[in-house]
Amino acid sequence: MDTATSIIRASGSAQTGIYHYDALDREYLERRAEEFREQVQRRLAGGLTEDEFKPLRLMNGLYLQLHAYMLRVAIPYGVFSSTQMRKLAYVARKYDRDYGHFTTRQNIQFNWIKLEQAPDILADLAEVDIHAIQTSGNCIRNVTTDQFAGAAADEIIDPRVYAEILRQWSTDHPEFLFLPRKFKIALTGSAHDRAAIKLHDIGVLTTRNAEGEPGFCIYVGGGLGRTPVIGVKIREWLPVSDLLRYMEAILRVYNAAGRRDNIYKARIKILVRETGAVCFAEMVEQEFASLSGDRFNLSPDVVQAISARFGAPNFATLAPESPAFEKAIVENADFARWVSTNTHPHRMPGYISSVISLKPIGGIPGDATSAQMDIMADLADRYSFGELRVAHEQNLVLAHVRKDDMLALWQELQAPGIATPNIGLVTDIIACPGLDYCDLANARSIPIAQRISERFADLARQHDIGELHINISGCINACAHHHVAHIGILGVDKHGQEAYQITLGGAADEKAALGQLLGAAVPAEAVPDLIETVVGVYLAERSPGELFIDTFRRIGMAKFKEATRDGQR
Amino acid sequence: MANAETVTIPTALVIDRSGQPVPNAWTTLAADAELPVSGPVILPLARLLAEPASLALPGGIGALIGPEDDLGTLMPLLAKLALVAIAFPKFRDGRGFTQMRSLREHQGYTGEIRATGHPLPDQFLNLVRCGVTSVDLPQGQDAAVWASVLKLHGGLDTRPVAERPLPLLRRLAVPFAP
């Protein structure tokens, strides 16, 4: 029995692809749950003020929203098992209103939580090795990565392994739990950026140097919010062994020098801007040089040990092409349509990754009922080695499906309403919870998403329009990343009324760009018409096969402004 | 400076890094209070820099560092200091953690590092991991709560900071045993 197999068996789980906990990991989670139970008791007994309790509950994922507490549960780098999914369904059923909300940071949120029950939920989650640690607060948050990690054909390294290493390094890091502000790291294992790394406090892009050795290119200071900034490169190539040492150096410079006088200027992007990228990079390099290379060395055996904990799916040896799959595509137009949008190439012959849309027409983006969660867990067991992923677009992924099984899978997705063939299309809308839940929001996001989705419900039309990303944030904090959407929608408060600003031309991939303002904010009921007009300009102007974003880049803002001017008065 | 508004601050209760109350001989002097004839006494960094003669005070001298203070200016004095007090005027301001680790790991400081101000018992383990040796408890805090936090996390790791493993990754130093 090889090491990976013995670990997977020993952990009592059949699933591969998730990081398998051992007794020490479990003991740690139980202790954390116990610690939080004691903190809640101390708070309820008056031993902690709300001011003192707040950062402690935030570090355990518990927010106070408009109507109730919200618990944000970590799904590290978006990968989880069917067993864990069933437990999330259980939590939704027992403690919430029978549903959960998958987020743009590859986590899940429960919106109707009672403070007194939070410790019980954490204890329940700990039973299946999940937690809510550092999903909020001014600390290093869940490290996010590519939803096709370990499956994508273009991968240089498996980013899950390094994201897990960063998770272990940042969890309970004694020095970095009380940073000036929250801190987000994204990592991608291929040169194609599927993790929006330039929009994070630290972005890690895997590259090879001139000698062909894999390493990391490091960006800092990206982020959205009220001051959207694209990250800047501060290290062209970092050896794998120096990853933690370099992270430690960046965080130390930020913790010491980041602004603490103004919450809106406390993110690392402001420090980088005020210091200057060159000077900031020098400060990091200086700190890096003074840190012990031995102590922070990420040795190959550590990488190997972490890697072994994931195990490898026991892929069958298959022919690259599946006649049954090809035949179904030819014979079934609906299936063909779903395959054209909801799949991604796999590195193994005969396999393919499939995306489950959580964006039904007129639905709430990212929401799943407990019944749907249970069904998806069963499908993961039967079709994808018991493993699931959350994509930052708020959809789910079954990463390793046999092409031979795709038709059967698609048929099973119909009844629970999760077979919408719209990944990357105009109705695959990313939306924050908005004013329906969040006390920071200026405006509602969900109903806007629902109205646009209904307006573009016709599938043939959606597929004709092609790839088009719409993101809706209910306030300037930009949880839905509206700045980097092809069409961004921002809820604002206009003389006490909810209103919406539209931006065009943003992008979150390796050509990351911030959207430009189309015009004055409009009321909610005008948004679908405005979007329709914008899409109309694209359809009239596009060259054959040209995507919305490419047409925009070619023709610029003028025609869009001209066409929408009347609607904005 | 964190405590500029007070004169001489009698320390209420000091605990060591295992959470046990310990006798405390140190007093903290405000920026404008008169220097006593002997220590042990803790002076704000600015005053130490302005009056280098105070470093020779019999009985021991310590420095009080606020989050805004530049540790670089402290370095030439470090060999003469028996104690460095790191102030946490707000528990949410985590700069003190970096200051502590810089003292221990970059400067090799081996004297006493004391946390003062308003740290929370829930931060005790982090303080210890960053190199703290004593905590001057905020008024009204119960030493037993501090000790219980440490107990919950499996007690005190007595190894020097630089030899202590990185969080969680320490498990990889031992063979995998389910």
pLDDT tens, position by position, A503-544: 999 998 878 899 999 999 999 999 999 999 999 999 999 999
What's the helix, strand, coil split of chain B in %, to 5? Answer: 35, 20, 45
DSSP reduced 3-state for A180: coil
Contact present, B29 and B43 (Cβ < 8 Å):
yes
Chain B closest-CA separation from residue A220 CA (Å): 20
* Cβ–Cβ gap B178/A168 under 8 Å: no
DSSP reduced 3-state for B121: helix
Q: What residues in B contact A52, CB-CB < 8 Å?
A: 91, 120
Phi/psi of residue A412, nearest 5 degrees: -75, -20
The number of C-alpha atoms within 13 Å of A169 and in the hemisphere containing its C-beta is 23
A327 CB burial (10 A radius; 0-12, 13-18, 19+): exposed
Both tokens assigned to A253:
């410079």
User: CA-nearest residue of chain B to A171?
Assistant: B167
Phi/psi of residue A121, nearest 5 degrees: -60, -45
Residue identified by tokens 């300037």 is A476
Using the Cβ of A325 and the Cβ atoms of chain B, whether some distance falls under 8 Å is answered with: no
Instruction: Report the pLDDT averaged over residues A172-191.
Output: 94
Q: What residues in B contact A40, CB-CB < 8 Å?
A: none
d(CA B20, CA A410): 63
Of A10, A175, A309, the CB nearest to B97: A175
Average pLDDT of every residue of chain A = 93
Q: What is the DSSP letter of A193?
A: -
d(CA A424, CA A401): 20
Chain B closest-CA separation from residue A168 CA (Å): 6
Q: What is the separation of C-alpha B138 from the centre of its chain, rounded to a whole number of angstroms?
A: 13
Predicted confidence at residue A212, as pLDDT, reads 94
Confidence of residue A3 (pLDDT cuts 50, 70, 90): very low
Both tokens assigned to A257:
């020098």
DSSP reduced 3-state for A28: helix
Alpha carbon distances (Å) from A41 to A63, A115, A127, A379, B150 = 17, 10, 22, 40, 18
Q: Is the pLDDT of residue A363 over 90?
A: yes
DSSP reduced 3-state for B40: coil
pLDDT, tens digit, 9 for 90 and up, residues A82-135: 999 999 999 999 999 999 999 988 899 999 999 999 999 999 999 999 999 999
* Cβ–Cβ gap B94/A169 under 8 Å: no
| DSSP states along A474-487 | SSTT-TT-GGGSSE
Residue identified by tokens 């629970």 is A416
Count CB-CB contacts under 10 A for residue A62: 26
Residue A43 corresponds to which amino acid?
A: R
Q: What is the DSSP letter of A183?
A: B
Q: What residues in A contact B156, CB-CB < 8 Å?
A: none
pLDDT, tens digit, 9 for 90 and up, residues A327-357: 999 999 999 999 999 999 999 999 999 999 9
Q: What residues in A contact B95, CB-CB < 8 Å?
A: 255-256, 260
Contact present, A490 and A473 (Cβ < 8 Å):
yes
For CA atoms A153, A154, A160, A161, give the dihedral sign: positive
Among A165, A156, A132, A143, smallest CA distance to A19 is for A165
Chain B closest-CA separation from residue A431 CA (Å): 31
Predicted confidence at residue B160, as pLDDT, reads 54
Q: Is the pLDDT of residue A223 over 70?
A: yes
Among A70, A62, A74, A217, smallest CA distance to A143 is for A74
Beta bridge partners of B21: B15
Q: What residues in B contact A179, CB-CB < 8 Å?
A: 94
A&B contacts, CB < 8 Å: 102
The number of C-alpha atoms within 13 Å of B164 and in the hemisphere containing its C-beta is 18
Q: What residues in A contact B168, CB-CB < 8 Å?
A: 28, 168-169, 171-172
Contact present, A481 and A459 (Cβ < 8 Å):
no
Q: Is the pLDDT of residue A566 over 80?
A: no
DSSP reduced 3-state for A504: strand
B9 CB burial (10 A radius; 0-12, 13-18, 19+): middle
Q: What is the DSSP letter of A340?
A: H
B166 CB burial (10 A radius; 0-12, 13-18, 19+): middle
A464 CB burial (10 A radius; 0-12, 13-18, 19+): exposed
Task: Write out the E strands in A268-382.
Answer: 343-345, 351-356, 367-369
Alpha-helical segments (H) within chain B: 45-50, 71-74, 95-101, 124-129, 143-152
DSSP reduced 3-state for A228: coil
Contact present, A240 and A209 (Cβ < 8 Å):
no
Count CB-CB contacts under 10 A for residue A3: 14
Of B67, B126, B162, the CB nearest to A177: B126
d(CA B86, CA B98): 10
pLDDT, tens digit, 9 for 90 and up, residues A23-71: 888 888 888 899 999 999 999 998 899 999 999 999 999 998 888 899 9
pLDDT, tens digit, 9 for 90 and up, residues A279-309: 999 999 999 999 987 888 898 988 988 898 8
Instruction: Report the pLDDT averaged over residues A555-565.
Output: 95
Contact present, A180 and A254 (Cβ < 8 Å):
yes
Contact present, B117 and B89 (Cβ < 8 Å):
yes
d(CA A482, CA A502): 9
Of B93, B148, B153, the CB nearest to A178: B93
Among A61, A291, A253, A265, smallest CA distance to A176 is for A253
Confidence of residue A419 (pLDDT cuts 50, 70, 90): very high
- ipTM value: 0.89
CB contacts under 8 A, A 15-74 vs B, are: 22-25, 28, 31, 34-35, 38-39, 42, 47, 52, 55-56
Of B148, B172, B178, the CB nearest to A302: B172
Residue A86 corresponds to which amino acid?
A: R
Q: What residues in A contact B122, CB-CB < 8 Å?
A: 35, 39, 56
Residue identified by tokens 């069963």 is A378
Q: Is the pLDDT of residue A8 over 50?
A: no
d(CA A222, CA A228): 8
Q: What is the separation of C-alpha A320 from the centre of its chain, rounded to a whole number of angstroms?
A: 30
Alpha carbon distances (Å) from A508 to A193, A271, A392, A557 = 8, 22, 11, 19
% pLDDT > 70, chain A = 97
Please give the helix or strand (H or E) that residue B170 lies within, else none: none
Both tokens assigned to A299:
């040795």
Count CB-CB contacts under 10 A for residue B20: 11
Residue identified by tokens 């299309």 is A425
Beta bridge partners of A208: A214
* Cβ–Cβ gap B94/A11 under 8 Å: no
Burial annotation A445-462 (CB, 10 A radius, 16+ → b, else e): bbbbbbbbbebbeebeeb
Phi/psi of residue B46, nearest 5 degrees: -60, -40
Phi/psi of residue B17, nearest 5 degrees: -80, 0
CB contacts under 8 A, A 175-194 vs B, are: 175-179
Chain A closest-CA separation from residue B34 CA (Å): 32
d(CA A525, CA A527): 6
The number of C-alpha atoms within 13 Å of A336 and in the hemisphere containing its C-beta is 9
Chain B residues at the A interface, defined by Cβ less than 8 Å, are 67, 91-95, 97-99, 101, 105-106, 120, 122-123, 125-127, 129-130, 145, 148-149, 152-154, 162, 166-169, 171-172, 176-178
Of B105, B149, B178, the CB nearest to A11: B178
Q: What residues in B contact A172, CB-CB < 8 Å?
A: 126, 167-168
Chain B closest-CA separation from residue A157 CA (Å): 20
Of B92, B94, B169, the CB nearest to A255: B94
d(CA A126, CA B132): 31
Contact present, A419 and A338 (Cβ < 8 Å):
yes
* Cβ–Cβ gap A28/B152 under 8 Å: no
Of B122, B145, B169, the CB nearest to A168: B169
d(CA A368, CA A82): 15
Per-residue pLDDT of chain B (178 residues; tens, 9 = 90+): 444 444 445 557 999 998 999 999 999 987 788 888 888 999 999 999 999 888 999 999 999 999 999 999 999 999 999 999 999 999 999 999 999 999 998 898 999 999 999 999 999 989 998 999 999 998 888 899 999 988 887 766 655 555 655 555 554 444 333 3
Of A203-207, A312-316, B169-173, give the lowest mean pLDDT range. B169-173
User: CA-nearest residue of chain B to A301?
Assistant: B172
Chain B closest-CA separation from residue A202 CA (Å): 19
